Amino acid sequence: MSQSAGSSAAVGEVSTTLARPRFGKVLVFGVGLIGGSFALALKAAADVDEVVGFGRSLASLRQALALGVIDRVGANAAQEAVDADLILLATPVGAMAEVLTRIAPSLGPQAIVTDAGSTKSDVVAVARAALGEQFARFVPAHPIAGAENSGAAAARQDLFAGRKLVLTPLPETSPTALARVRDAWALCGADVRELTPERHDQIFAAVSHLPHLLSFALVHDLAQRDERDLFFTYAASGFRDFTRIAASHPEMWRDICLANRDALLGELDSYRAELDRLRAALAAGDGARLEAVFDVARTARRAWADGVSGAATGSAGDSR
């Protein structure tokens, strides 16, 4: 779509002359599992003319092109942003500021920018700084989906089907941009919800970021032991289930933990206090206390599992 299609739009607002939810040209920064699956889902919905991919590895981008995940490898982000309709940032959150700074000066009036980061307050802050008066066209998003494998080869058209997608719009977010991004994720099959950035980060520190930290810590502890091979030889399903997410991308999770540091530290302190209480019960031989804790946990876990059992759960991978 040409830039002139929305040339009368006010600064920071998105042209409303475009037919919704049609997306002509889509840019994806980070054509891995999330970015690639987003591209495949939109292409399958026949609601995009062209997907242009960007990434740090030319070999990975060429693989994405060969697999049909993208239609073209982007050469110049600023030039491509001029006539882009939708731009997805699916990079690690630590890399988003640089991408936003590159594309900000050349965004066409019809362009909408969104992301797929697992933290939101930090992404909102860098987007506000980089986009300035155009910040209204940025719609923060977080797809609650993933898998152990990464890269374009792991991308799946149905990755987001039935999975929750959290939008965290701000008071200044353009209603048009919000509606368009909601449409895009709905086309991917996602169950779209909304939270504030702050509430999002508090919740996911507890239910996603802390579990990953604990999983990494346990595997790291065992991996440093002299008899690690013996321990891993006898590890079975319980260990596999608890530590599955320790196979997740180290760089991505480094950025997530640091970006949500305050909320994560609070959750870690709460968990340490819970461990201290369990340790005290164990040291005292207080079986009744241990059983009571285990019973509450089992009941809550089963209730949660029953609540999601009818929904699509995807592969047993990282849900971010």
What CATH number should be reported for the domain holding residue 260? 1.10.3660.10
User: Is residue 63 included in any domain, yes or no?
Assistant: yes
Indicate whether 223 and 109 sit together in one domain.
no
Task: Give the tens place of pLDDT for each residue, 275-290.
Answer: 999 999 999 999 999 9
Residue 17 pLDDT > 80? no
Indicate whether 125 and 158 sit together in one domain.
yes
Indicate the residue among 141, 166, 195 that finishes a domain. Answer: 195
User: Is residue 315 included in any domain, yes or no?
Assistant: no
Indicate whether 250 and 177 sit together in one domain.
no
DSSP-based three-state secondary structure for 166? strand
User: Is residue 299 included in any domain, yes or no?
Assistant: yes
Stated pTM of the model: 0.82
Q: How far apart are CA 115 and CA 272, in angstroms?
A: 33
Indicate whether 20 and 52 sit together in one domain.
yes
Give the structural domain span for 121.
Answer: 3-195
User: Is residue 93 included in any domain, yes or no?
Assistant: yes
Indicate whether 118 and 218 sit together in one domain.
no
218 Cβ contact list (under 8 Å, min separation 6): 242, 243, 246
- My answer on whether omega of the bond before 175 falls inside 30° of 0, hence cis, is no
Please tell me the total count of domains within the chain: 2
Cα distances from 144 to residues 39, 66, 199, 205, 310, in angstroms, run 16, 27, 15, 13, 16
User: Is residue 130 included in any domain, yes or no?
Assistant: yes
Indicate whether 209 and 288 sit together in one domain.
yes
Q: How far apart are CA 57 and CA 89, in angstroms?
A: 16
Indicate whether 51 and 189 sit together in one domain.
yes
User: Is residue 319 included in any domain, yes or no?
Assistant: no
The CATH code of the domain that includes 26 is 3.40.50.720
Q: How far apart are CA 177 and CA 307, in angstroms?
A: 32
Task: Give the tens place of pLDDT for each residue, 90-108.
Answer: 998 888 999 999 999 999 9
Indicate whether 73 and 121 sit together in one domain.
yes
Q: How far apart are CA 134 and CA 131, in angstroms?
A: 5
Indicate whether 261 and 185 sit together in one domain.
no
User: Is residue 32 included in any domain, yes or no?
Assistant: yes
Task: Give the tens place of pLDDT for each residue, 148-196.
Answer: 667 888 889 999 999 999 999 999 999 999 999 999 999 999 999 999 9
Q: Which residue has the tokens 């058209």?
A: 157
Report the share of the chain in percent with pLDDT over 90. 77
- 31: Cα separation from own chain's centroid: 13
Closest CA relative to residue 93, chosen from 113, 73, 112, 115: 115
Indicate whether 133 and 229 sit together in one domain.
no
